[in-house]
């Protein structure tokens, strides 16, 4: 018999069929700020606080993996001051996380090409991932300078290099299991549930390989207004679906 949890949000869902891995496209920060007559930087700051709150809630209810889309390979097209704000907020969050990791026991990993990030941010990422290796528990994956197509091309390049250098046999193509090992998400289960706030209904180059059988949930709520109750609604919708993976069960 399923056990149901009643959270402070007043939303009930079955605790024994929670998604192991939730991924979120954190969208709507700029529109949230614009609707309030605020600079876009204020929207990104509010969105960072929402991320902190949602990550904490995921840990509390027993989600094993949370992956968030923080900055895409296409986001470099945005105004330089907005890009600088996002990078500054990310660095601020990581510094605070480093101070609290011993207490919170939250692992943090990063997906994306780090080579064009600032040296300071690269150092923070390396320090955070090194410390994360000491802990078990919820894992938060932050996608920064990440694109799904870029990730697939990177995986193909690394696989081809291994074949050319004799580390893998020549001839044929890798199966899905082998190819998945070349992705940033190697060793992590594919997301069960992908959430996109803000009313947009597309993946926007997010986890294209990993999302083959993910359940998708869209809401008009802008990311800074996304609450624990909104996450509950997404989980409840996920639990109402019949995941067949191409079968007929």
Catalytic residues: 27, 75
- Burial letters for 26-65: b for 16+ Cβ neighbours within 10 Å, e otherwise? bbbbbbbbeeeeeebbbbbbbbbebbeebbebbbebebbb
The strand order across the sheet containing 193-196 reads 107-111, 139-146, 65-72, 21-25, 193-196, 215-218
DSSP 33-45: HHTTT--HHHHHH
The neighbour count for residue 204, using CB atoms within 10 Å, is: 14
How far is the C-alpha of 157 from the C-alpha of 13, rounded, in Å?
Answer: 43
How far is the C-alpha of 216 from the C-alpha of 101, rounded, in Å?
Answer: 31
Residue 145 near residue 113, CB atoms below 8 Å: yes
Segments in the chain forming alpha helices (H): 29-34, 40-61, 80-104, 119-132, 148-164, 176-180, 228-239
């Amino acid at each position: 018999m399923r056990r149901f949890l009643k959270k402070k949000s007043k939303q009930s869902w079955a605790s024994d069929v929670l998604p192991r891995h939730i991924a979120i496209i954190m969208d709507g920060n700029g529109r949230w700020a614009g609707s309030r007559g605020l600079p876009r930087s204020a929207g990104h700051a509010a969105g960072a606080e929402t991320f902190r709150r949602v990550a904490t809630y995921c840990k509390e209810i027993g989600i094993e993996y949370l992956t968030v889309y923080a900055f895409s390979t296409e986001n470099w097209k945005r105004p330089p001051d907005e890009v600088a704000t996002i990078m500054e907020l990310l660095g601020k969050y990581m510094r605070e996380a480093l101070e609290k990791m011993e207490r919170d026991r939250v692992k943090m990993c990063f997906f994306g090409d780090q080579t064009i990030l600032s040296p300071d941010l690269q150092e923070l990422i390396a320090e955070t991932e090194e410390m994360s290796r000491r802990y078990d528990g919820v894992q938060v994956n932050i996608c920064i300078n990440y694109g799904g197509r870029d990730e697939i091309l990177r995986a193909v390049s690394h696989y081809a290099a291994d074949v050319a250098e004799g580390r893998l046999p020549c001839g044929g193509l890798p199966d899905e299991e082998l190819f998945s090992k070349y992705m940033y998400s190697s060793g992590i289960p594919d997301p069960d549930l992908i959430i996109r706030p803000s009313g947009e209904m597309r993946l926007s180059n997010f986890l294209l390989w990993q999302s083959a059988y993910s359940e998708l949930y869209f809401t008009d709520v802008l990311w800074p207004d996304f609450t624990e109750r909104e996450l509950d609604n997404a989980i409840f919708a996920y639990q109402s679906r019949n995941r067949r993976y191409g079968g007929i069960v």
